[in-house]
Amino acid sequence: MTAVLVCIALLAAAGCGGDESAPSRNGGEDSVGNDIPLQALAMGVNSEYGRIDEIPIPQDAPPECLAVSDEEEFQRLISQAFFQEPIPEVDFERYIVIAAMQGPKPTAGYAISITSAVQNGSDVTVKVDTTEPEPGAITAQVLTSPYHLVLAERSSFDPRGELVFVFTYRDGARISQLFAEV
């Protein structure tokens, strides 16, 4: 019984407050930054992202993360990824799209989600959470390619203009960085 209580306590501690202590590019200033509200646009586990190139993306590659600020770039993403669900139209006068795509995975049990965006000056830190099956887990043997797309209202960014989007994992490790016009 004691072992069960210890396990429960350890699991609860691991799941509580993990992001607050994560290192950040801005020296821990995320808490004083401008939280950017995010709205879900699309999420799923089946897309063709990473499978249609002549050289497929390796299964252990980091997620592909994008900040899409215009219709042309958005249509290119949709045509390359073939998302499992229809993607609604986006008013790019009002919004930008932030996308995270995990790439091809060999089984079920993988997922990706964009959990937050915080702006400090011209830097926007976007937290991305990935999930994968536990080692030895019994999962369906099916090719998946998880993705998550969110909307961010342009008026939420201050300042606006060309911003640096820094994508990180939950623990603060950097995935990628790119510039986008907001």
Q: How does DSSP assign the chain, residue by residue?
A: -HHHHHHHHHHHHHHSSTTTTS--TTTTGGGGSEE--EEEEEEES---TTTSSSSPPPTTSPPEEEEE-SHHHHHHHHHHH--SSPPPP--TTTEEEEEEE---BSSS--EEEEEEEEEETTEEEEEEEEE-PPTT-------B--EEEEEEEGGG-SS-SEEEEEEEETTS-EEEEEEEE-
Any domain includes 119 = yes
Residue 166 structural domain: 29-181
Q: Is residue 87 part of a domain?
A: yes
Give the pLDDT of residue 54.
Answer: 54
The number of angstroms, rounded, from the C-alpha of 94 to the middle of its chain's C-alpha atoms is: 21
Quick check: is 137 in a domain? Answer: yes
pLDDT for 82: 87
Summarised one tens digit per residue, pLDDT across range 14-30 is 333 333 333 333 434 44
pTM of the model: 0.79
Residue 83: inside a domain, yes or no?
Answer: yes
Mean pLDDT value of segment 163-171: 97
Selection from 22, 14, 61 nearest residue 173 by Cα: 22
Work out how many domains the chain is built from and give that number: 1
Domain membership flag for residue 12: no
Instruction: Look at residue 16 and tell me if it is in a domain.
Output: no
The pLDDT tens digits for 27-76 are: 344 457 999 999 999 999 988 776 555 556 776 788 999 999 999 999 99
Provide the pLDDT for residue 122.
97
The reply to whether 7 falls in a domain is no
Average pLDDT score over residue span 134-158: 93
Residue 85 domain-assigned (yes or no): yes
Mean pLDDT of 75-82: 90
The rounded mean pLDDT for the chain is 83
24-33, 89-98, 128-137 — which is least confidently predicted? 24-33
Q: Span 98-110, mean pLDDT?
A: 92
